[in-house]
């Protein structure tokens, strides 16, 4: 099928394919530099000059940062943000939230998925994320039957990314069973279900549709150990090639208990013993780990996909940050349920949750004198780029020109010493300081607003009115 297309980021008048950008200050791999001129060819940084002349470059005002990759997102959940904040009959938890989520997604059409995704991607771009890994599991029609095109829903995610300009890593999810050990799925899961054979055909269809949007990456996402068997997991991992491979793991205590009841092992322990977890892998949440699991994950080279705002919203628990960092672990950040989309906010809550859990300050750093904001940001850039399997996460030759420029004149920077801007951005103004955003060297956000914000918001409101108000 042809995705319904109203507009496309590439339709906009932009600098020529090969062009130059100039910034007063830019955060490069070695730290802040002044008077930075970038040459951009086909969206990739071809040259970086410091202490350069502006010349005929396009001048972009502000403090230039590499855009943050968002390594975990279920975009449709943006539409149900705020709908699960009333206490139920018993003790509310992830599992009662999941019931609300299943009811919400039970009515979503492909048009709704595209409208919500476009809106969420606009918010991401306006808040400092320039690329996203979409962990995509709603594949089928409302009654659970596959669409004529197995990759219909995937094509809508690609259309939303195309309309907004955000960089995309698309991860079709394998959801095969309803619980550990091959338990039959529940009715609310019927839109997710595939056996490995049909999943591999879906993956092929997803690769075909992703190929229509330049620079899009495709990996796989076995949903969780609850949703696969060892045999189905091994089959799809073999089909994944170079990856990336993302999986939810050890998000809740009940999941850990159920995994032990099934296998005698904890979830991360089971994965480490039974599957070759390596740099291709991103373990989402990994909240509940023993010290041994924490070290094993750190040494595997896989990325821990942390989603602090969602983990706080769902009451999941607190990641073991100090031991993971001490063991050289890699992490990145995801917006997951999208209840709040805010790159600085995820970084801030990661550090604050560690402070609350460890009763100390500046926990996600290891060296005296180190900037907490800078360390968090640099780690999340590298972990995010690895998890997305795209050349992003740095203002450097060979990387995509995905850049977020902060407003240097924001009041909250008034007392900030030059070069200490990341601490201030993350812990003080956050999203209001995001001024200009470029993806692949093209400007998509100016003065804090995405160029298609209005049209995409109108479409989103109409979709939600049908989904929520008429229900
Ligand atoms: Zn998730």
Residue written as token pair 């940084």? 45
130 and 89 in a common domain: yes
Ranking 55-59, 83-87, 241-245 by mean pLDDT, the lowest is: 83-87
CATH number of the domain residue 411 falls in:
2.30.40.10
pLDDT bucket at 4, cuts 50 / 70 / 90: very low
- Domain membership flag for residue 290: yes
- Domain membership flag for residue 4: no
362 and 230 in a common domain: yes
431 and 383 in a common domain: no
Cα of 174 vs centre of ligand 1, distance in Å, is 13
Q: Is pLDDT of 375 > 60?
A: yes
Separation between Cα atoms, residue 403 and residue 438, nearest integer Å: 5
- Domain membership flag for residue 462: no
300 and 261 in a common domain: yes
Phi and psi, residue 196, nearest 5°: -55, -35
Q: How far, in Å, are 5, 110, 253, 314, 464 from residue 76 at the CA level?
A: 18, 11, 26, 17, 11
Cα of 382 vs centre of ligand 1, distance in Å, is 20
Q: What is the mean pLDDT of residues 333-352?
A: 97
Total domains in the chain come to 2
Please state, as a whole number, how many other Cβ atoms lie within 10 Å of the Cβ of residue 447.
Answer: 8
355 and 225 in a common domain: yes
- Domain membership flag for residue 466: no
Q: What is the mean pLDDT of residues 6-27?
A: 72
289 and 192 in a common domain: yes
58 and 72 in a common domain: no
Separation between Cα atoms, residue 65 and residue 435, nearest integer Å: 11
Cα of 413 vs centre of ligand 1, distance in Å, is 34
- Domain membership flag for residue 461: no
Judging by beta carbons within 10 Å of its beta carbon (0-12, 13-18, 19+), is residue 198 exposed, middle or buried? middle
pLDDT bucket at 1, cuts 50 / 70 / 90: very low
Ranking 233-242, 261-270, 349-358, 451-460 by mean pLDDT, the lowest is: 233-242
88 and 18 in a common domain: no
- Domain membership flag for residue 313: yes
102 and 61 in a common domain: no
Residue written as token pair 């009654």? 143
Contact 51, 34 (CB under 8 A): yes
Q: What is the pLDDT of residues 303-321, one digit of tens each?
A: 999 999 999 999 999 999 9
99 and 115 in a common domain: yes
Q: Is pLDDT of 114 > 50?
A: yes
Q: How far, in Å, are 99, 291, 444 from residue 256 at the CA level?
A: 20, 15, 42
53: domain range? 10-66+397-454
* Whether residue 136 lies in the annotated active site: no
Which DSSP string do the residues of 86-137 spell out, in sequence order?
Answer: S--SS---HHHHHHHHHHHHTT--HHHHHHHHHHHHHHHHHHTEEEEEEEE-
Q: What is the mean pLDDT of residues 41-46?
A: 96
Q: What is the pLDDT of residues 240-284, one digit of tens each?
A: 888 899 999 999 999 999 999 999 999 999 999 999 999 999 999
* Whether residue 74 lies in the annotated active site: no
Question: pLDDT value at position 252?
Answer: 93
Strands 18-28 and 63-66: parallel
CATH number of the domain residue 288 falls in:
3.20.20.140
Q: Residues 6 or more apart from 350 whose CB is under 8 A from it?
A: 306, 308, 319, 321, 333, 364, 376
Q: Is pLDDT of 225 > 80?
A: yes
Cα of 72 vs centre of ligand 1, distance in Å, is 6
Q: What is the pLDDT of residues 92-105, one digit of tens each?
A: 888 888 888 888 88
Among 136, 285, 288, 450, the active-site one is 285
56 and 40 in a common domain: yes
Strands 58-59 and 18-28: parallel
- Domain membership flag for residue 1: no
pTM of the predicted structure, to 2 decimals:
0.95
214 and 162 in a common domain: yes
Radius of gyration, alpha carbons of the chain = 21
């Amino acid at each position: 099928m042809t995705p319904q297309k109203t507009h496309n980021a590439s339709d906009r008048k932009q600098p020529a394919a090969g062009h130059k950008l100039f910034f007063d200050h830019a955060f490069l791999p070695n730290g802040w530099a002044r008077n930075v001129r970038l040459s951009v060819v086909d969206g990739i940084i071809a040259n970086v000059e410091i202490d350069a002349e502006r010349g005929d470059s396009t001048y972009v005002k502000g403090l230039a940062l590499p855009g943050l990759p968002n390594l975990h997102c279920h975009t449709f959940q943006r539409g149900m943000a705020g709908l699960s904040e009333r206490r139920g009959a018993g003790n509310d938890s992830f599992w009662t939230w999941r019931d609300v989520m299943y009811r919400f997604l039970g009515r979503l059409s492909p048009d709704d998925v595209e409208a919500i995704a476009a809106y969420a991607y606009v918010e991401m771009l306006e808040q400092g994320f320039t690329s996203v890994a979409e962990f995509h599991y709603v594949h089928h029609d409302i009654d659970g039957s596959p669409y004529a095109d197995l990759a219909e829903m995937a094509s809508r995610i690609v259309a939303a990314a195309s309309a907004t300009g955000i960089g995309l890593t698309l991860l079709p999810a394998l959801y095969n069973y309803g619980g550990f050990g091959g338990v039959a799925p529940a009715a609310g899961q019927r839109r997710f279900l595939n056996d490995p054979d049909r999943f591999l055909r879906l993956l092929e269809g997803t690769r075909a549709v992703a190929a229509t949007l330049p620079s899009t990456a495709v990996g796989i996402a076995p949903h969780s150990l609850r949703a696969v068997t060892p045999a189905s997991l091994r089959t799809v991992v073999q089909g994944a090639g170079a990856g990336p491979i993302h999986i939810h793991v050890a998000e809740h205590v009940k999941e850990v208990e159920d995994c032990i009841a099934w296998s005698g092992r904890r979830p991360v322990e089971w994965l480490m013993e039974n599957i070759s977890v390596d740099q291709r892998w991103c373990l989402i949440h990994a909240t509940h780990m023993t010290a041994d699991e924490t070290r094993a994950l750190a040494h595997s080279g896989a990325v821990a996909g942390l989603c602090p705002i969602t983990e706080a919203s769902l009451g999941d628990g607190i990641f073991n940050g100090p031991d993971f960092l001490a063991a050289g672990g890699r992490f990145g950040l995801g917006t997951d349920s999208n209840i709040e989309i805010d790159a600085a906010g995820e970084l801030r809550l990661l550090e604050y949750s560690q402070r609350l859990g460890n009763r100390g300050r500046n926990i996600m750093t290891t060296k005296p004198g180190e900037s907490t904001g800078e360390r968090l940001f640099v780690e999340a850039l590298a972990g995010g780029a690895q998890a997305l399997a795209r050349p992003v996460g740095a203002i450097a030759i060979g990387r995509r020109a995905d850049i977020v420029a902060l407003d240097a004149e924001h009041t909250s920077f008034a007392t900030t010493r030059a070069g200490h801007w990341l601490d201030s951005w993350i812990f003080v103004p956050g999203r209001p300081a995001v001024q200009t955003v470029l993806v692949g060297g093209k400007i998509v956000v100016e003065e804090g607003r995405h160029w298609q914000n209005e049209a995409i918001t109108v479409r989103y409101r109409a979709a939600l009115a049908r989904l929520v108000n008429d229900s």
